[in-house]
Chains A and B, each alone.
Chain A
Amino acid sequence: QKEVEQDPGPLSVPEGAIVSLNCTYSNSAFQYFMWYRQYSRKGPELLMYTYSSGNKEDGRFTAQVDKSSKYISLFIRDSQPSDSATYLCALSTGGGNKLTFGTGTQLKVEL
């Protein structure tokens, strides 16, 4: 079993839809939860950061962490074609330790 599981997609949605992206994990020591967006041939861009459990909202993006279920989510409201990219969840135990990534979900928002 992988430490972090993420559906690779591809996920195709119409413009304006609400997108839900998810990851599950097995290591209860993870304390820091991040979502990155990666366009083709580019480095990952940090979208959302959450420490421990809870919700965080930033514009059209909402990140949720449920540590009891070991489940994290990223919601994108009013999705746009420019949101088409691969979304990676990344988790860390802290202390400057390495990130553990999900496989990434490829998202396509169609006109």
Chain B
Amino acid sequence: GAVVSQHPSRVICKSGTSVKIECRSLDFQATTMFWYRQFPKQSLMLMATSNEGSKATYEQGVEKDKFLINHASLTLSTLTVTSAHPEDSSFYICSAFLLAGVQETQYFGPGTRLLVL
């Protein structure tokens, strides 16, 4: 299957700092990537849809000025959590959209665990 990587896998930061998470599709080009967060024992919650070369589309209730998304190339999207606070601590997962013929799927990265102290 297609491979999506995330970096870092784990980050601990102080309250008020900004954290950047990278999502890369390693063996395919992804015009669209998605960012999710997941709390323990809950399903994935979509935060935003990231399209290469254009502004991200945020889900209702997600602050676009707090969660900055940049999709600068067909293989890289970044999520920056600005002025992080303890309530931002979560598991952040990206996915990359793959279109191959009639098959449309999303491949997920391994996730980034953020802990804000």
Measured CB to CB, the residues of A under 8 A from B are 32, 34, 36, 41-46, 49, 51, 88, 90, 92, 94-96, 98-99, 101-104
Contacts and interface: CB of A to CB of B under 8 A. Distances in A.
Interface of B: 1, 4, 6, 31-32, 34, 42-44, 46, 49, 91, 93, 95, 97, 99, 102-111, 113
For the residues of B in contact with A, the DSSP-based class is strand
A44 B44 contact: yes
30 contacts: A32-B105, A36-B108, A41-B91, A41-B111, A42-B110, A43-B93, A43-B108, A43-B109, A43-B111, A44-B44, A44-B108, A46-B105, A46-B106, A46-B107, A49-B103, A49-B105, A51-B104, A88-B44, A90-B106, A92-B104, A96-B31, A96-B32, A98-B34, A98-B46, A99-B46, A99-B95, A99-B106, A101-B43, A102-B43, A103-B42
A94 B102 CA distance: 10
Contacts of A88: 43-44
Contacts of B103: 49, 51
A96 B105 CA distance: 8
A51 B43 contact: no
Given A41-B111, A43-B108, 16 more contacts: A32-B105, A34-B105, A43-B6, A43-B93, A44-B93, A46-B1, A46-B105, A46-B107, A49-B105, A51-B104, A95-B104, A96-B32, A96-B99, A101-B44, A102-B43, A104-B43
